[in-house]
Structure 1
Amino acid sequence: MRNPEAAALSERDLDRGVKHLMWDAAFATAVGALNSGVVLVAYALYFDASNKVVGFIAAIPLLTQLLQAPAVLLVERLRRRRLICVASLFVARLALPIMAVLSWIPDKGLALGLLILAETIHCSFNAVAACSWNSWVRDLVPEDRLGRFFAHRTIWATAIGLAGTILAGLALERAGDGGPSPVFFALYAGGFLASLFSTWHLAQVPEQLMAPLEVRLNLRKLLRQPLRDRNFRRFIMFLASWQFAVNFATPFFTVYFLQQLGFGMAFVMTLTVVSQAANIGVLRAWGRVSDRFSNKTALGAAAPVFIACIAAMVVASQIESRATLSAYLIALHIVFGASAAGVGLASSALAMKLAPRGAATPYVAASAFLGAMAAGVAPVIGGLWADFFAARELGLNVHWRDPAGLRTVFAFSLTNWDFYFLA
């Protein structure tokens, strides 16, 4: 009997598939720019969400990645990755038009609850799709092209995402504080339209068929297999600790900028645009570093810089001049975006390369599963800690007494989110 996996795709089919993957990335990124991140947090704050709720909402996309574990069984049993991915994404994106109409519900508590429910449905089916997508693309794209593929795909996606982010920022400035908001309706309706184009392009990508299933599957054994791989186990340990640190801090940047620093949504979205632009600017360079040297080289350079930027956020609250503060945050987000590009590209490519061809599903799912556990717990804990830190303040004042009297020559104080970001 002929093994369907032996029938390799032609170069023409591969190029056609990569082209559709680029278009899918562009439209999918537009969905993210219009319907997640800062926009989702702003929507929750529109319904008077507390820090705890903001932390929980930030955890939803991460905790739902745990569904990649049972999704492994689905992929391995059906062995139809394109079908699973496209069907799951279509169902996930049906939650977006529901989210679009929530601002017309008079009861803000009910609307917030429905927002959380819809986001959970959206992210859950996205997780199932991601499991099949990762395995599908791992077998589709040749190993020596993975670094360049992810670099080009991310550049293409981010370029479209920039336009969506700018549009969302301008729209959020007009959202207002009360009453039904056509702004959120427009953003989520636009996201749903973009998601339909994304799903269509993904459905056009060819699939490298999986070999027929010969043994009965056991989820525990499937997930244990990558954990026996010493190299892959080390990568997962890094990924989990990294995800915890990053997701402990970054989901609350929007709250920090709006509530403590007093900026408007337009400036907050401008920072997102600046970060994404910096991301695009260095992606090709990170891709070359990843392919020419190693993914570990890229990670070793980018990850410490990203973590240092989180700590450097504390300096913002010490700057009194509005112009200086704005310039500082813009510069910081340039470094944020550049370092995030290296970490994201290298970690994605490393996970793919460490997963053996033809058996990538459990490897990629294991990294996503354990990474999601660490990442999902972080903002939940963070939301609880945020209220604790809100009541704390630490000040340092250095005085000098001269004949004219006592003068303060240095003053430094940490309050609320300053403690949090240092933690």
Structure 2
Amino acid sequence: FLPGYTMLRSYLAAVRELPKPPRLFLIFTAVNVFSWQCIAGPAMVLFARDLNMPPAWVGLLLSFLPISMLLVVFTVPLVEWLGPRKLLLWTWLARNVLSLSVFLVPWAISRWGEAGGWQVLLFATLAFSLIRAVGVGAWYPWLHEIVPRPLLGSYLSIEAAMSQVIIIALALAMALILGLGQGLSRFFLLYAAGIGAGFWSVQLIRKIPGGERVVATDFGVSGRRPSLRQALADQEYRRFFVLAMLGTGSVMWLNAASVMYLRDMLFYSEARIMLLLAAGGIGVACTVRFWGRAADRFGSVPAMIQLLGAHALLAFCWWGLLPGGRMTGLLAVVVIVFTTIFNGAFTMVSASGMLRRVRNEGRVAYTSLWILGVSTANGLPPILAGLLIDYWGMAGFRLCFLIAGGVGLAAAGFMFTLPPEEGKPPLHELRHLIQPSQPLRSLARVFWITVGFGEKKGGG
């Protein structure tokens, strides 16, 4: 228990270094993570498949949340006109009210059959997604306002670790709940908890300082386009943005296929899947601070290259998880845990790199452009993956894993063209990390950082 106790003390010390506003935002984030996992987490996929929803429909369901975020391009004036606090308050309230419609699924099934239940679930998820998309553009500007720039890496590492602790606890609880029986009431209990937490988060918004309206702009197209053009005209930011989105897309290709593969090809129960995801969450919580530290020391881009290289190799490893294989059970634990670790670390490191490149005078436009890109990168793969899996079955799954690995390697390779961040070592020192001829050595070096020995250059 000593390593865990030491890690806890380290995180608590980092939290105490934060001013009060970021600490309050952490509490708000914690409640939102709980709500999100109950409403739109892995259990949603299991719920959809329990309703016998076809894989192509499940892919569409998964795409609603990210694709709807494309609306953020139209909400830039709203953030500036209303301020982050007021916009988040009203949209977070509305999204929870609309998500209550999920409880109509049994009625729809009794009236129109399984297809009626599918449509109600699609409507509830789409309504939740659209309203959330209107308000989420206020998230990063508010965070950028209240977190001091030197503490961004520390804050995001704490947030990632805290989120994983919540996800772990929830995954274990969900495994217990979903293992109790076969009825739909198991899933409705999770939705009730998530929506209840969502209403609580609305109350927490009122307690966070800042977030007031600071720029008065015309609520029209003329007030929107110049800001976004300014962000796109920033060459350094644009190059980082494009390659980060390519990496995000590769991660999503794997995420979109993995849960369905465990359920439909390996025939894992819902409880077993949630336990595996919990194990991955434990890995993220224990290791994400090491990747945050590596990014602070060597820059976000080197860390992203390392993580994408490891992600790509693990994506190919999913081909080895064969139905009925003697080693599949053991390999599944290793592959899922490290896949979750590297995916979580990449998300954290890329967001940190983005915030370090945001200029104060255009933070709404910069962060909105980022959300727009993340939405596209996270939204298209589930749709395409669902179609591939629906038509080709096992071959479709394997193609998804191949695309995830190939795109990840391509993104990592192109990132070598990015200039190093100020005061960071040149990127050519890390070229050996993604050499195709030395994949095991590459993974070993990434593993070295993951377990906390990346402070020396040789290890990072």
Q: What's the TM-score bracket when you normalise by the shorter of the two chains? A: 0.7 to 0.9
Q: What residue in structure 1 maps to residue 73 of structure 2? A: 69
| 1:329 paired residue among 314, 328, 332 | 332
| 1:151 paired residue among 144, 157, 177 | 157
2:252 aligned with 1:244: no
* CA positional deviation for 1:371: 3.0
* Larger fraction in helix: 2
Q: What residue in structure 2 maps to residue 363 of structure 1? A: 366
| 1:292 paired residue among 280, 293, 297 | 297
Of structures 1 and 2, the larger Rg is shown by: 1
| 2:28 paired residue among 24, 27, 32 | 24
2:307 aligned with 1:302: yes
Q: What residue in structure 1 maps to residue 319 of structure 2? A: 314
* CA positional deviation for 1:120: 1.0
The amino acid across from 2:387 in the alignment is: L
C-alpha distance in 2 between matches for 1:48 and 1:319:
23
Q: What residue in structure 2 maps to residue 418 of structure 1? A: 398
| 1:59 paired residue among 51, 59, 63 | 63
Report how many aligned residue pairs link the two structures. 383
Instruction: Report if aligned partners of 2:105, 2:116 keep a CA contact under 8 Å in 1.
Output: no
TM-score normalized with structure 2 length:
0.78
Instruction: Report if aligned partners of 1:26, 1:158 keep a CA contact under 8 Å in 2.
Output: no
TM-score normalized with structure 1 length:
0.85
Identity %: 19
* CA positional deviation for 1:285: 1.2
The amino acid across from 2:398 in the alignment is: D
1:122-161 matches, cutoff 5 A: 122-161=128-167
* CA positional deviation for 1:192: 1.1
* CA positional deviation for 1:243: 2.8
| 1:281 paired residue among 286, 301, 307 | 286
* CA positional deviation for 1:209: 4.4
The amino acid across from 2:186 in the alignment is: V
C-alpha distance in 1 between matches for 2:107 and 2:316:
39
* CA positional deviation for 1:318: 6.6
2:15 aligned with 1:15: no
Q: What residue in structure 2 maps to residue 406 of structure 1? A: none
* CA positional deviation for 1:136: 0.8
Instruction: Report if aligned partners of 1:26, 1:161 keep a CA contact under 8 Å in 2.
Output: no
The amino acid across from 2:128 in the alignment is: H
Query: Which moved further from structure 2: 196-205 or 150-159?
Result: 196-205
* CA positional deviation for 1:309: 1.5
* CA positional deviation for 1:357: 1.5
1:48 is paired with a residue whose SS is: coil
Q: What residue in structure 1 maps to residue 49 of structure 2? A: 45
C-alpha distance in 2 between matches for 1:301 and 1:63:
28
Q: What residue in structure 2 maps to residue 102 of structure 1? A: 105
* CA positional deviation for 1:168: 1.4
1:340 is paired with a residue whose SS is: helix
Q: What residue in structure 1 maps to residue 343 of structure 2? A: 340
Q: What residue in structure 1 maps to residue 240 of structure 2? A: 235
Instruction: Report if aligned partners of 1:17, 1:204 keep a CA contact under 8 Å in 2.
Output: no
Post-superposition CA distance 1:303-350 (Å, at most 9, x none) = 2112221221110017622xx322211111221122123211111111
C-alpha distance in 1 between matches for 2:94 and 2:58:
25
Go from structure 1 to structure 2 and tell me whether the alpha carbon gap of 1:174 and 1:214 turns closer, same or farther (over 3 Å shift): closer
* CA positional deviation for 1:231: 0.8
Runs of 4+ deviating beyond 4 Å: 214-217
C-alpha distance in 2 between matches for 1:290 and 1:415:
37
* CA positional deviation for 1:104: 4.5
C-alpha distance in 2 between matches for 1:54 and 1:92:
21
Show structure 1 runs of 5+ residues with no match: 1-11, 391-413
* Larger fraction in strand: 1
Q: What residue in structure 1 maps to residue 431 of structure 2? A: none
Q: What residue in structure 1 maps to residue 355 of structure 2? A: 352
* CA positional deviation for 1:302: 1.2
Post-superposition CA distance 1:270-310 (Å, at most 9, x none) = 11101111111111112212222211122122121122212
